[in-house]
Structure 1
Amino acid sequence: METKHRNLYKLDELSDYKVASNYSDVRGWKIVDADNRTIGKIDNLWVNKDMERVVYLDVKVDKALIEDSRNEVHDVIANENNRELVYKDGDIHIIIPIGSVSINKDTKIVMANNIGYNTFRNTNRYNSVDNFDREYERRVMKSYYPENDPDSVYYSDDDGFYNRREFDNK
């Protein structure tokens, strides 16, 4: 994402922002699909700075889900401490719209309401070191909600794109 057009930031980047007291800070919590299969852990929250709210969960994908992605061919290498295999390109993160999940404060588990394991397995991943662009957001939204048209004129501007039920965190 070009800096001049950037409106999404990781919460960790915004020292003057924090999770509102009436919401749970879900960073570090496990996230599961609609059938309770592990997707990964929530690594960060993506904030739309103009709207002053969280729009995406940044999920570090579980190794099992990556290994189940048989339709993709990747070269793997050991990371610097030689304990964990990561993709050479570092694409082990996905984004999930905040309105697509339910949060259980008691169990500290986040559930993707209507998104199944295979959908997550086939969703494009990204490298958390890099910022993603609107094209990546569109591809992800299309994989999660193929019945919606994320390329429609209504969703083309920043405000319109995030004014959808998938981003409603209420």
Structure 2
Amino acid sequence: MEKKDRNLYRLDELSDYKIASDYSDVRGWKIVDADNRTIGKIDNLWVNKDMQRVVYLDVSVDKSLIEDSRKELHDVIANDNGREFIYKEGESHIIVPIGSVSINKDTKIVMAHNIGYNTFRNTSRYDQLHNFDRNYERRVLKSYYPADEYDAGFNSDDDTFYNRREFDNR
């Protein structure tokens, strides 16, 4: 995101922000898919500063998921089917909307109940050295929830974009 219209920040960028006492700090915790397959580790939290709340988990993707993606891409190219995505070096992070997961404080595992391994494998990744933009957020949401009907807020560039169940962390 460009600085002039940036609304999301990594929690570790905001020295005056901390996690509320009634929420768990899930950074470093494992995230699994609906079938309990490892997706990666929570590296950071993306905070909407204007709304003062976490909207995304920043997931460092597990090496096995990246290798599965590369193997599939190799097979697709070998079969000359083509593919819309080719990951660049360093693109090893994905975002997961906070309302798409449940948090188990006892096991310190975050579970994405309705998102499967193949969806995570095929979801567009980004390089954590660069911030992402709203178009990336839209692509990710469409990847996770392809059948959902999106309201006018889906195309919004303001905070109404986050007024949907995928961002509800209650």
Partner of 2:9: 9
Partner of 2:68: 68
Partner of 1:27: 27
Q: Percent identity?
A: 78
Higher helix share goes to which structure? 2
Unaligned runs of 5+ in 1: 74-86
Partner of 1:154: 153
Please report the TM-score for the alignment, with normalisation by the length of structure 2: 0.88
Q: Deviations over 1:119-166 (max 9, x none)?
A: 00000000001000001000000000012255x522213222100000
| Amino acid aligned to 1:111 | M
Alignment RMSD (CA, Å):
1.3
Please report the TM-score for the alignment, with normalisation by the length of structure 1: 0.88
Secondary structure of the equivalent of 1:36? coil
Superposed counterparts of 1:122-161, under 5 Å = 122-149=122-149, 152-155=151-154, 156-161=156-161
Q: Is the contact between residue 142 and residue 149 of structure 1 (CA under 8 Å) also seen in structure 2?
A: no
Q: Deviations over 1:77-96 (max 9, x none)?
A: xxxxxxxxxx7630000000
| d(CA) in 2 for partners of 1:160, 1:148 | 17
Q: How far is 1:71 from its partner?
A: 3.5
Q: Is the contact between residue 28 and residue 42 of structure 1 (CA under 8 Å) also seen in structure 2?
A: yes
Partner of 1:103: 103
| d(CA) in 2 for partners of 1:16, 1:102 | 26
Secondary structure of the equivalent of 1:46? strand
| Amino acid aligned to 2:153 | Y
Q: Is the contact between residue 91 and residue 126 of structure 2 (CA under 8 Å) also seen in structure 1?
A: yes
| d(CA) in 2 for partners of 1:136, 1:162 | 14
Unaligned runs of 5+ in 2: 75-86
| Amino acid aligned to 1:34 | A
| d(CA) in 1 for partners of 2:100, 2:37 | 16
Q: Deviations over 1:43-98 (max 9, x none)?
A: 0000000100000000000000011113436xxxxxxxxxxxxx763000000000
Secondary structure of the equivalent of 2:64? helix
How many residue pairs get aligned? The number is 156
Q: Is the contact between residue 134 and residue 157 of structure 2 (CA under 8 Å) also seen in structure 1?
A: no
Higher strand share goes to which structure? 1
